[in-house]
A and B are shown apart, each in its own frame.
Chain A
Amino acid sequence: MKKVRIGSGSAFWGDLLEPAVEMAERGDVQYIGFDHLAELTMALLNRMKLKNPKMGYIPDIIPWMKKLLPITKPKQIKMITNAGGANPLQAALEVKNVVNDLGLAPMKIGVISGDDVLPYLDEIRRQGVKFTNMDTGEEDIDRVREDIVAANAYTGADEIIAELKNDADLIITGRVSDNALYVGPLMYEFGWDYTDAYVNQIAAAVTIGHIIECSACVTGGMSNMWRISERPWKIGFPILEVFENGDAIVTKTPNSGGIVNTWTVKEHLLYEVIDPHNYLMPDGIADFSTIKLEESGRNRVKVSNMSGKKRPDTLKLCIGYRDGYIGEGMVLFPAPDALEKARFSEKWLRERFKLLGVEFEELRIDYIGVNTLHGEAVEIEDKHYNEVGMRVAGKAKTRQAAEAVRREATHLWTQGPIGSSFGTPMNVRPVIRLWPTLVPRDAVRTKSQLMEVK
């Protein structure tokens, strides 16, 4: 039976490079997918592109490709990366230079773009589409329209499949959904299409793509299995061995660190999912309630019996809009009376803000080591603490008000209780708030082109 081996080489902008290199060297894979885009990343990349039209892609793609292409080219491993971000074409041009410099031509680079809906957002609205906020239920974007800085659709595998058919060695995309980076090659290899005949196979691809798309998060990272993960400092990234019916083995690069067992797979199956019976992705809707997991060897988990429904008519659209500023400060207090010192400092800060007349939309003060993560779920215990930290964060309409948080927190250095300790102050940051919504699939103008490096 035909099988395809595909691995995940990156989960976010800043992920480790070594495990991807090791996967290329000895993972026996045909494809590696690279995700570099989180929800906020597109807004940041858009801002970079506005400042400089030759920016806006994930700069890591250059060192990554320098290291990886010399390994993947002779082995004919195809890589699919969404590091193109807000500027896939420029990213491809930069990679073209890398290919030439390393003498790796000829090479074909598929470039996929068109996920950026911002230029024609209003045109879509004029057709009667409303961008209802999926988090808050607010009906449309009128209130925030002027402040919108990004609107990117999470696109599917269609163009990836097209570029694989064009024989691309490397595919660079914009905001293609991380999931499609894996669904695309599987649909291409097995000849699955979006007709009713392949609904369950594509749902399987959506499911197993989801299982590996966060790299180390299924191989022992971020895991309840952290105690028994082997050599976690040398973690291996995940690899799928996929069969024609959609069943697969989840494993990782041979002789790498980390762990893959049914627990790490369950952890990731549920991760960042809302309704597990309807996991909506651009290429299909997966239902996780039929999946069967069994260990089939050391660091090998067989996943089978996956099912789902046809792909939705809408795509997720992530709109980002400017929404004020956040200022932060942090001070640590030693015993004796560490908690009391933190309480004193909270009062001091609140009085200062009152005196200054600073207006915040929201102000939050946590005691580090006490309730920063547990919040209201815990009662604060009046007991001996060796040390307690105080973190203050304030959100305001103006940069000036947010600056007051940082500035007043630093004044605690000289005016706070004895022993108040501090590090480097944190910069105020502008807030891009996200407006998650849906857009009709047909309204999104995705496109792809083949760049040949000769």
Chain B
Amino acid sequence: MKMVQLKELAYARSGDKGDVCNVGIMAKTKNVYEFLLKSLTPEKIKAYYKGMVKGDVEIYPLPNIDSLQIVLRQSLGGGATCTLRFDQTGKSMGPVLLGMVVEADDALIDEAVNAAATIENGTY
């Protein structure tokens, strides 16, 4: 087992709908998806963002695309038009989450790193 940042295991993209920020987490492999489904909980995610997320956190699983939709309520300072955040539309919230550290099997981490090498080579 090893401590690893989420960025090694998944991709993320975030956006806004009013004061709600959504973070799409795309696991780099099917096994990683199964792992993230178990290890990421609303409590852990809310704790990671500390004061940034004032409302509830919800997680919607999408096994068909090995992805999780993470919903952060009351996290954008009231929404893009009235927020004091520099990042008014929550674009950085996904990449910020990729800095979260989790404990995973060495073999799983290797699998994800290898998958990413193939994907980002553009040759898969």
Contact = CB atoms under 8 A, between A and B. Distances in A.
A185 to B, nearest CB: 25
Contact of A431 (B15, B20, B81, B86): B81
B38 interface: no
Contact of B64 (A270, A289, A362, A431): A289
Contacts of B50: 375-377
B19 A224 contact: no
B102 interface: no
B35 interface: no
Of listed A272, A320, A323, A366, residue having the most chain B CB within 10 A: A272
B87 A373 contact: yes
Nearest to A288: B62
A227 interface: yes
A277 B60 contact: yes
Interface string A210-253: 00000000000011110110000000000000000000000000
A366 B15 CA distance: 21
Interface string B30-51: 0000000000000000001111
A135 B72 CA distance: 11
Contacts of A225: 119-120
Contact of B120 (A39, A222, A227): A227
Interface in B54-84: 60, 62-65, 67, 69, 71, 74, 77-82, 84
Given A373-B87, A376-B49, A276 B60 contact: yes
A10 B42 CA distance: 35
A271 B12 contact: no
Contact of A271 (B13, B20, B99, B119): B13
A433 B78 contact: yes
Given A291-B64, A320-B81, A362-B84, A267 B11 contact: yes
What bracket does the count of chain B residues touching chain A fall in?
35 or more
- Interface residue range, chain A: 35 or more
A377 B64 contact: no
Contact of A222 (B13, B51, B80): B13
Contact of A377 (B13, B52, B91): B52
Interface in A273-298: 273-277, 288-293
A228 B122 CA distance: 6
Interface string A366-379: 10100011111110
A227 B82 CA distance: 33
A273 B75 CA distance: 15
B120 A228 contact: yes
Interface of B: 11-13, 15-20, 22, 24, 26, 48-52, 60, 62-65, 67, 69, 71, 74, 77-82, 84-87, 91-92, 96, 99, 119-122
